[in-house]
Structure 1
Amino acid sequence: MMMFNVEEQNLLALFRTGSRKATINDFKMMLDHINDKELEEVCRHVLDKLSKMSDEEYAALDLESDEGFEYGE
C-alpha cells in the first residue's frame, strides 16, 4: 500500500473525489492557485503517490481514520 504522511492524508481527506483520476486533476488545478511553498510541496508529493497507485488502492483508502495507513515517507 502507498504510504501517506499525516499532512498528505489530511489534504487527501479534504480534496478527495470519487475517483483517483478526478482527484489527480483537482490537485493539478489547485497547484495553479497555491502561493505557499510547503503546501505546494505536499500537493506534489500527493500527486506523485496518486499517480503511482492503482484505482483499486485509491478506492481502498480509509481517510475517515488512520486505520489502513502506513506512516512515513
Structure 2
Amino acid sequence: MMSTQVLTYIFVGATFALYVGIAIWSKAKSTNDFYVAGKGVHPVANGMATAADWMSAAHFFLWQD
C-alpha cells in the first residue's frame, strides 16, 4: 500500500495536470473571451454571481470569533 505522502503527491499532480489541460483546451482565445466571457453572460446572472460573492465574503467577516 502506498503511503499518504505518495498519494498526496499523485493527487496534487493529477489536479495540476487537469488545470493545465483545461487551460490549453479552453475556448477562450483572447483576453476579452477570458475576462468577460465574450460578453455572453446576461447582466442579471452576473449581478447574482457578484451578490453571492459579496454575501459569502460578508459571512466570513461577520462570523469571526
* Interval of TM-score (by shorter of Structure 1 and Structure 2): 0.3 to 0.5
Whose relative contact order is higher, 1 or 2, with alpha carbons under 8 Å and at least 6 apart? 1
TM-score after normalising by structure 2: 0.32
Larger Rg: 2
> Which has more helix, going by share of residues?
2
TM-score after normalising by structure 1: 0.29
